[in-house]
Amino acid sequence: MGKGLKVITWEIQASMPYWTKISTMLSITKIFTFESAHRITDYDGPCCQVHGHSYVLHVTVSGKELENDMLLDFKLLKSILQEGVISQFDHALILKENEKNRLDFGGFDQKILWMDDEPTAERMLLWIKDRIIPKLPPKVNLESLSLYETATCYATWTP
Name the catalytic one among 47, 58, 67, 143. 47
Q: Is 47 a catalytic residue?
A: yes
Q: Which amino acid is at 117?
A: D
Query: Is residue 38 among the annotated active site residues?
Result: no
**Span 18-65, pLDDT tens digits:** 556 666 789 999 999 999 999 999 889 998 899 999 999 999 999 998
Count, residues in the chain:
159
Q: In what order do the strands lie in the sheet with 141-148?
A: 112-115, 92-96, 19-38, 51-67, 141-148, 154-157
- pTM as predicted: 0.83
